[in-house]
A and B are shown apart, each in its own frame.
Chain A
C-alpha cells in the first residue's frame, strides 16, 4: 500500500511565539485536512509547550496527528528526506538534509521545496510569490511562498471547520460567559470586553487611563506576555496570570498564556481584540471583530510601511475611512492614543461592519495549507 506523502516543516524559534505558532497551526491543519503525513522539526520544544501544553520536552512525540521532532544543531544525516519540505520564516535547512535532498533528486525523486516567508500586505510580495529559486550549490529548486491578503499570494492559515466552530460558540452568548468563567474571568456586565495581546508599548498608559475614566465598564483580558511589562510599569504593579485589578470603570484581568484553540475562543468572546505579530493577527481576522494590530517593529521603521499597506488593503474593501486607522497608527508609533480610541469606539458599529466585510473578503481566497498542496500538485 502506498504511503501518503511525507511533509517536513522546519521551524527555528527566534523570538516570541510567532514562528512556532504559525508552524504548529500549519502542521496540525495539514495533518487533519490533507492526505499527507506531517513531521515538524522544531529547535525549541519549550516554545511549543507554551502554546500547546500537551507537548513534552522530548526528542520525538506524536501530537495532534503530527510527528514532532527536536531539531538539533547536529542534525542526523540518516533522516529520510520528505516528499515536501517547508523551511519556515527564512530558516536554513540542515546542510546534511540538503545533501540528502540532492541525492533524492539525482535518483529522480526531487522533493518539493518551499520557503514559507513572512506575511505582508505589501504589493511587492505578489511579484515574488510562486517564483522558483535554484539553490546555489545543488541547483535544487525552491519555491518562494508568501502568505498574503490577495489572490496573487498564498493566502492565510484558516482551518476548514473554523467558522463553524466560531459560529457555534457565538450562537448563544452564554457560551462565551461560561468559557470565560472557566478561565476565572467574571466580566462586568453592560460594558466592553477587550483582549490585549501586544509587545511592550508605552502608549498603553493612555489607553488604561481612558478606560479607567470611561463612562462604561471595560473588561480588559490580558494573556500573559510582553505587554504586561508595560502595564506593570505604568501602574507600578507586578500583575501576573490569575491577578485582577479594578481601576474605576476598568477591570484588568491577567490570563495565563493560552493554548492555541483557547486563544481563538478568547478572540471570539471579546468586542475588540488587540493583537500582535503574525499568528494572533491572522486569528483575529477570522474572529471578525474589531482589531488593533501591533506589527513587529523593525529597523528604520520599515514596519510602518507594512502597517500602512495592510490598512490600505482593508480600505479597498471596507471603504477609505477606516474607523481604526488612526488608532492603529498611534498604537504603533507609541504615542498617546486615548483620543483615537475614543473616536474608534464611538463608531463601534461601523468598526464592526468594516471588520466583518474584511473577514468575508479574505474568506474568498483559498487558505494557505490548501494553496501549498495545490501549488505542489501543479508543479509536478
Chain B
C-alpha cells in the first residue's frame, strides 16, 4: 500500500481496478502540515493520460510487477532501447523514462531497474547515484573552495543542474538521482 505522499514516477497504482503508471508526481504543501500531490498518470491498459490530484494521505494499492536489471543500449527515435542480462531488448518512450531522462547518454553503463507489466517494460529507475561529466559550467567565483556557493552546469545531454562553484567543465560529478542534486566531484 502506498500513500499519496509516497507516489513517485515509475510507480504503478491501482485506481478502481485499472493499472496506472505514474509518470510524474509533484507534491505541494497545503494547510496545517498537510500536502497534496499532482500526478500525471498513464493507463497501462488503454494508454489514456490524465492529470490528477490526490491528498498526501490517500491510500493506493500497489500492483505487483516484475522487475529486472537493464542497461541503456541506444536511441531509436522516438524510443530508447535497453537490454537485460540475456540481451533481450526493450523499448521505452521519453515520457516513460521518468527521471532517467535527465541522465541518459550514449555509452552509459549504469545498471537500472526496469519494471514490467504483463511482459511489457513500463518504467525504469536509475541507480541511486550516477557519475556524469560536466560539459559546461559557469565561471567560478574567485577563491571559493567552501562548496557552499553553487552555480549552473550542464551534462552532455543538455540537462542542467547546480554544482559546487569549484567544479569545472570536464570534471565528473556524482549526482543523487532521487533528488536530482549534485553530491560531489567524482574521485578519479
Answer whether residue B138 sits at the interface, using C-beta atoms and an 8 A cutoff: no
Whether B32 lies near A298 (C-beta < 8 A) is: yes
Closest B residue to A132 using CB positions: B52
Whether A136 lies near B31 (C-beta < 8 A) is: no
A134 CA to B4 CA, complexed, in Å? 13
Nearest chain B CB to A94 CB, angstrom units? 15
User: How many residues of chain A are within 8 Å of chain B by beta carbon?
Assistant: 30
**How big is the B interface, by class?**
20 to 34
Nearest chain A CB to B180 CB, angstrom units? 19
A137 CA to B18 CA, complexed, in Å? 10
Interface of A is mostly: loop
Name the A residues within 8 Å of B8 (CB-CB).
Answer: none
Q: Give a binary string over A92-114; 1 marks a CB under 8 Å from any B CB, 0 the rest.
A: 10000000000000000000000
Closest B residue to A127 using CB positions: B38
Q: Give a binary string over B13-52; 1 marks a CB under 8 Å from any A CB, 0 the rest.
A: 1111100000000001111111010100000000000011
A84 CA to B30 CA, complexed, in Å? 24
Check A128/B36 contact, CB under 8 A, given A120-B31, A133-B54, A302-B29. Answer: yes
A98 CA to B36 CA, complexed, in Å? 20
Name the B residues within 8 Å of A128 (CB-CB).
Answer: 28, 36, 38, 53
A15 CA to B13 CA, complexed, in Å? 33
Name the B residues within 8 Å of A134 (CB-CB).
Answer: 15-16, 52
Name the A residues within 8 Å of B30 (CB-CB).
Answer: 90, 117-118, 120
Nearest chain B CB to A119 CB, angstrom units? 7
Name the B residues within 8 Å of A139 (CB-CB).
Answer: 15-17
Name the A residues within 8 Å of B33 (CB-CB).
Answer: 298-299
Cβ 8 A contact of B31, one of A115, A118, A133, A138: A118
Whether A296 lies near B13 (C-beta < 8 A) is: no
Nearest chain B CB to A123 CB, angstrom units? 10
Most chain A Cβ neighbours within 10 Å, of B14, B32, B55, B59: B32
Whether A89 lies near B38 (C-beta < 8 A) is: no
Name the A residues within 8 Å of B59 (CB-CB).
Answer: 136
Name the A residues within 8 Å of B61 (CB-CB).
Answer: 136
Check A133/B29 contact, CB under 8 A, given A128-B38, A139-B16. Answer: no
Whether A89 lies near B52 (C-beta < 8 A) is: no
Name the B residues within 8 Å of A278 (CB-CB).
Answer: 31
Closest B residue to A137 using CB positions: B16
16 of the cross-chain contacts (CB-CB < 8 Å) are: A14-B32, A89-B32, A90-B34, A90-B55, A90-B57, A115-B55, A118-B32, A119-B31, A128-B28, A131-B38, A133-B52, A136-B13, A136-B14, A136-B59, A298-B33, A299-B33
The 3 closest A-B pairs by CB, nearest first: A118-B31, A139-B16, A144-B53
Interface residues of B (CB under 8 A from A): 13-17, 28-34, 36, 38, 51-55, 57-61
